[in-house]
Amino acid sequence: MRDSEHHGRALAARLDEAQSTGIPIEDSTDFERLSLDEAYRMQHCLIRRRAERGDGPVGVKLGFTSKAKMLQMGVDTVIVGSLTSSMLIEDGGSVSLDGFIHPRIEPEIAFRLGADVDLDGDDAALLNDIDGVAPALEIIDSRYAGFAFTLSSVVADNTSASAFAVGPWQRFNRDGDLENRAVRLVVGDTVRAVGSTAAILGNPSRVLPFLLRAARTHGFTLNAGDVILAGAATAATPLVEGFAEARVAGLGRTAITVEGVSRG
Find which of ligand 0L1, Mg ion, none residue 160 binds, CB within 5 to 8 Å per kind.
ligand 0L1
Least Cβ distance, residue 105 to ligand 0L1 (angstroms)? 10
Residue 154 contacts ligand 0L1 per CB under 6 A: yes
Nearest residue to Mg ion, using CB? Answer: 138
> Which one among 47, 80, 140, 230 touches ligand 0L1, defined by CB under 6 A?
140
Query: Closest CB to ligand 0L1 among 24 and 231?
Result: 231
Nearest residue to ligand 0L1, using CB? Answer: 63
> Which one among 232, 239, 244, 251 touches ligand 0L1, defined by CB under 6 A?
232
Residue 138 contacts Mg ion per CB under 5 A: yes
Q: Which of residues 205-234 bind Mg ion (CB under 5 A)?
A: 232
Query: Closest CB to Mg ion among 60 and 232?
Result: 232
DSSP-assigned states of every residue in the chain: --HHHHHHHHHHHHHHHHHHH---BS--HHHHTS-HHHHHHHHHHHHHHHHHTT--EEEEEEE--SHHHHHHHT--S-EEEEEEGGGEEPTT-EEEGGG-SS-EEEEEEEEEESS---TTS-HHHHHHHEEEEEEEEEEE--SBGGG---HHHHHHTGGGEEEEEE---EE--TTS--TT-EEEEEETTEEEEEEEGGGTTTSGGGHHHHHHHHHHHHT----TT-EEEEEESS--EE--SEEEEEEETTTEEEEEEEES----
Query: Closest CB to Mg ion among 8 and 231?
Result: 231
Residue 254 contacts ligand 0L1 per CB under 6 A: no
Q: Interface with Mg ion by CB under 5 A: which residues?
A: 138, 232
